[in-house]
Structure 1
Amino acid sequence: MTSIDLSARKALVTGGARGLGAGMAEALAKAGAAVAIADVLEDAGKETAQSLRDAGATAEFVPLDVSADSSWEQAVPAVVDALGGLDIVVNNAGIEVTNLLADLDPEGLRRMLDVNVVGTALGIKHAFRAMRPGGVAGNGGTVINISSVAATIAFPGIAGYSASKSAIDRLTRVAAAESGRLDYGVRVNCVYPGLTPTAMGNKLAVDCAEIGLFPSPEEAVQAVVAQTPSGRLGQIDDMADAVVFLASDAAKFVTGAGLPVDGGMGM
């Protein structure tokens, strides 16, 4: 997305060490933003930040457990200090635990809710506090939450994950309303990625086969493709381009919206 210029913008990407998060961080950096990789995976996060610096970007790593309020309280000031501000927060960190409802693992569900829902809510909280007037950054900005096509379809085996990603949709819309009402100057939107062959996406296919929904991981993937009008899986750059767009002035009048990037699967 070379036509979009994010020069002088400062971005924080949660779960940015690998997969979709790393791709989003790279796309923001290529558009000119300085980027903080925030993750519990310190070694991988530092490697991703270094690879961005090697490509000429300004990038830092900040340790962050998105489910812990105290971790956010340390990470956000560190990002503002390292990058010189904060204009973009991408709440991407998430986990997926596959279960049939008849075999639901309550601990797995609680962990998903803690990371996916509480983690996103805390990301919004601390983005607002930093970006609103009087905050440590204080110049407004944009929050982009990563939901999933799982929030818009009924696919077996992912009820808990679907519920958590549906919650992100609602958090996004309420957050946009609050920001507007209180003049925070922060736009809030979300993206619904389709299935992408990252480590998480590949594990989902394997898990669906293991619990008996499909004869093999390959047939699980084929089932997703068959439900997708575009006839293919998503790619990391498909999702990353959507994030860059929502972070940019090209989307300056877009808030409280959910952007499907799923090849039509969720329509």
Structure 2
Amino acid sequence: MSYEKLAGRTAVVTGAASGIGEAVAVVLAAQGARVALLARRADRLEAVAGKIRADGGQALAVVADVTDDASVEAAVARIHEAYGAVDLVVNNAGVMLPNPVDEGRLDEWQRMLDTNVTGVLRVVRAFTADLVAAAAEGRTADLVNISSIGAHITFPNYAVYGATKAAVTYLSQSLRTEFGPRDVRVTNVEPGLTDSELGSHIDNAELAQQLDGMFGALGPLACEDIADLVAYVTSRPRHVNLRQVIALPTRQA
């Protein structure tokens, strides 16, 4: 697909070292956007950025941890120095650590909250001024939050993960009331079963086996499917906000 309206834009993608984030960064760069890739793993980031540059795109690898204020602030400074202001932000960084609630794994709960909710807020805070300024200048400005179908559909042992994604979905709806009047679009994307790195975080053998069974029965989306969706929604005319998009494998009810 070709999305000409992405040419010349400046994008930030979090969680860009693998999975959906990597795919989004690659697609946006292929469509002519300058892309700052944020994630914690320097080697993986450099590999992705190198692949983008080899294909003729512009990419900046920025090692950053969305759970750390100073790290995000340093990332913003580096992006501004290299690329200037940003007009497209994709909040994708996330972790999925399913386990029964009665196991009481506070460390996992905190990690999911810190990354999936507070991390999203840190990135929003970091780039709000850029997005609002871009829109005020008559340019297209986009905030895209990657949530999950788990925000709506309950799965046993995924209660805390689902709760964090429900928070992202609600946050997106609320931010639209604040940003929309200033011409900044907010899009909430909720993927269903997707073949990303999230499943590798699961340390519960039974739950990992369940997920593998779902992959076999339903056939997951590819990360590139979600990336294509992000490129599509952010390339619409600036007065069109595709506010909420749920993308499921055809076999997933």
Matched residue count: 252
1:261 matches 2:252: no
Q: Tell me the equivalent position of 2:63.
A: 63
Question: Does the 8 Å CA contact 2:87/2:130 hold for their aligned counterparts?
Answer: no
Query: 1:98 aligns to what?
Result: 98
Number of the residue aligned with 2:25: 25
**Residues 221 and 29 from structure 1, CA distance in 2 versus in 1: closer, same or farther, beyond 3 angstroms?**
same
What is the letter of the counterpart of residue 220 of structure 1?
Answer: L
- Alignment partner, residue 143 of structure 1: 143
The answer for the alignment partner of 2:230 in structure 1 is 243
Instruction: Give distance in 2, aligned partners of 1:78 and 1:23.
Output: 22
Contact conserved, 1:27 with 1:240, CA < 8 A, in 2? yes
Query: CA-atom RMSD, angstroms?
Result: 2.4
Structure 1 residues 218-261: Cα deviation after superposition (integer angstroms, max 9, x where no partner): x53334665xxxx4211111110111112213464216x22111
The 1-side partners of 2:101 and 2:77 are apart by 41
**Taking structure 1 as reference, are residues 6 and 139 closer, same or farther at Cα in structure 2, changes over 3 Å only?**
closer
Q: Distance in 2 between matches of 1:197 and 1:266?
A: 14
Q: Structure 1, residues 77-97: CA drift from partner, whole Å, max 9, x if none?
A: 321321233111100001111
Kept in 2, the 8 Å contact 1:76–1:130? The answer is no
CA distance in 2, matches of 1:16, 1:240: 11
Alpha-carbon distance in 2 for matches of 1:157, 1:264: 24
Q: Which amino acid aligns with 2:94?
A: G
The answer for the alignment partner of 2:160 in structure 1 is 160
The residue number in structure 2 matching 1:193 is 191
Distance 1:260 1:115, change over 3 A: same
Match of 1:221 among 200, 208, 212: 212
**2:124 match: secondary structure:** helix
- For residues 24 and 100 of structure 2, what CA distance do their matches in structure 1 show? 31
Gaps of 5+ in 1: none
Aligned to 2:124: 124
Q: Secondary structure at the match of 1:16?
A: coil
Structure 2 Cα separation of the partners of residues 24 and 133 of structure 1: 24
Q: CA deviation at 1:4?
A: 4.2
**How far apart are residue 114 of structure 1 and its match?**
0.5
The answer (yes or no) to whether the contact 2:116–2:164 under 8 Å persists in 1 is yes
Shift of the 108–203 alpha-carbon distance from structure 1 to 2, 3 Å rule, reads closer
What is the CA distance between 1:12 and its match in structure 2? 0.5
Say which SS state the counterpart of residue 93 (structure 2) adopts.
coil
Q: Counterpart amino acid of 1:221?
A: D
Q: Is the aligned partner of 1:109 residue 2:109?
A: yes
Percent sequence identity over aligned pairs: 32
Cα contact 2:134–2:141 (8 A) shared by 1: no
- Distance of aligned partners of 1:40 and 1:56 in 2 relative to their CA distance in 1, 3 Å threshold: same
Change (3 A) 1:134 1:142: closer
**1:46 maps to 2:64:** no
Separation in 2 of the partners of 1:102 and 1:246?
40
| Residue in structure 2 matched with residue 81 of structure 1 by the alignment | 81
Q: TM-score, normalised on structure 1?
A: 0.85
Give the direction of change, closer, same or farther, for the CA distance of 1:71–1:266 in structure 2 (3 Å limit).
farther
Aligned equivalents of 1:6 and 1:196: distance in 2? 25
Show the counterpart of 2:172: 172
Calculate the TM-score normalised by the size of structure 2: 0.90
CA, structure 1 residues 195+103, in 2 after alignment: closer, same or farther (shift >3 Å)? same
* C-alpha distance in structure 1 between counterparts of 2:102 and 2:164, whole Å: 18
